[in-house]
């Protein structure tokens, strides 16, 4: 009987040990699978503001509590044209009319319509929009993709300002881009080898982040093809 009791006791101890080990294993596994609380560094880490980090759903960022400030932005673009198209542009000889004036108006109009073109942009009451286009004789090797042709380029500057709760960088970029696209559209009949160059924000002011100026060091010259 003692032997049986000893065996039973041994079996009971073995079962208890197994149960304890299993409990410990499950306990450890349970804790390792639960996400830890985010640190302050995680909370302040860069993230996309237009998407919910948990669901991934897109939304227009709330700027309700942001104080209105004077905001400006300068964006640039360029378009390179082969010789025939560029010569006609200089002489204002294109059949569709005054290319530079039409492109200027198109850029201004586009800047005002940015929120209709880009889904999550805020509609803004712009207080100033200007788009300037400048012809540049280009004696350098044309951008990649122009088949070694000679020609010139149009440099484009788009300036936008407002008194608002969010910046106007997108409006400036849209103005510069659409102006370049308009030049392309009006000149494509005589110069399909055109190349639109890099589009970028050169400067912005106002808002929480303050003033930004593009660092030219290491970047390609304006007009170099993308």
Instruction: Give the pLDDT confidence of 47-96 residue by residue, as tens digits.
Output: 666 666 676 677 777 777 788 999 999 999 999 998 899 999 988 867 66
For the record, the structure tokens of 3 come out as 């032997």
* Lookup result for tokens 């350098």: 140
What does the CA dihedral 164, 167, 171, 176 come to, rounded to 10 degrees? 140
Domains of the chain: total: 1
For the record, the structure tokens of 113 come out as 């319509």
CA distances from 155 to 60, 100, 196 (A): 32, 11, 10
Residue in 95, 100, 180, 197 with CA at minimum distance from that of residue 146: 197
Average pLDDT (103-113) is 98
**Angle at which helices 169-187 and 99-112 pack, to 10 degrees?**
150
Least confident of 27-41, 130-144, 149-163: 27-41
Instruction: Give the pLDDT confidence of 97-106 residue by residue, as tens digits.
Output: 799 999 999 9
The CATH number assigned to the domain holding 152 equals: 3.30.70.640
Query: Is 184 a member of any domain?
Result: yes
Dmax over CA atoms of the chain, in Å, equals 118
Residue 160 lies in domain:
69-213
For the annotated catalytic residues, the residue numbers are 185
Q: pTM of the prediction?
A: 0.70
Query: Is 76 a member of any domain?
Result: yes
Query: Is 55 a member of any domain?
Result: no
Query: Is 14 a member of any domain?
Result: no
Average pLDDT (29-46) is 45
Instruction: Give the pLDDT confidence of 194-212 residue by residue, as tens digits.
Output: 999 999 999 999 988 889 9
CA distances from 105 to 169, 179, 208 (A): 19, 8, 31
Q: Which has the higher per-residue pLDDT, 192 or 226?
A: 192
Query: Is 34 a member of any domain?
Result: no
Report the C-alpha gap between 71 and 180 in whole angstroms: 24
Query: Is 16 a member of any domain?
Result: no
CB atoms within 10 A of CB 3: 7
* Burial annotation 104-143 (CB, 10 A radius, 16+ → b, else e): bebbbbbbbebbeeeeebbebebeebbbebeeeebeeebb
Query: Is 158 a member of any domain?
Result: yes
Average pLDDT (171-178) is 98
């Amino acid at each position: 009987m003692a032997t049986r009791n000893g065996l039973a006791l041994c079996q009971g101890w073995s079962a208890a040990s197994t149960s304890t080990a299993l409990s410990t294993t499950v306990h450890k596994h349970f804790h390792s699978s639960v996400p830890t609380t985010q640190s302050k560094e995680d909370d302040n880490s860069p993230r996309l503001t237009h998407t919910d980090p948990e669901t991934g759903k897109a939304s227009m960022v709330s700027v309700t509590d942001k104080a209105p400030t004077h905001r400006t932005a300068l964006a640039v673009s360029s378009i390179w044209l082969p010789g025939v198209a560029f010569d006609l542009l200089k002489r204002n000889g294109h059949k569709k009319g005054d290319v530079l004036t039409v492109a200027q108006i198109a850029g201004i109009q586009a800047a005002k319509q940015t929120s209709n073109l880009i889904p999550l942009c805020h509609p803004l009451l712009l207080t100033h929009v200007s788009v300037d286009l400048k012809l540049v004789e280009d004696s350098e090797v044309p951008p990649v993709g122009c088949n070694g042709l000679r020609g010139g380029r149009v440099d484009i500057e788009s300036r936008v300002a407002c008194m608002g709760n969010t910046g106007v960088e997108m409006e400036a970029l849209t103005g510069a881009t659409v102006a370049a696209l308009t030049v392309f559209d009006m000149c494509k009949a005589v110069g399909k080898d055109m190349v639109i160059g890099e589009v970028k924000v050169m400067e912005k002011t106002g808002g929480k982040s303050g003033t930004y100026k593009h660092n030219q060091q290491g970047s390609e010259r304006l007009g170099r093809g993308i």
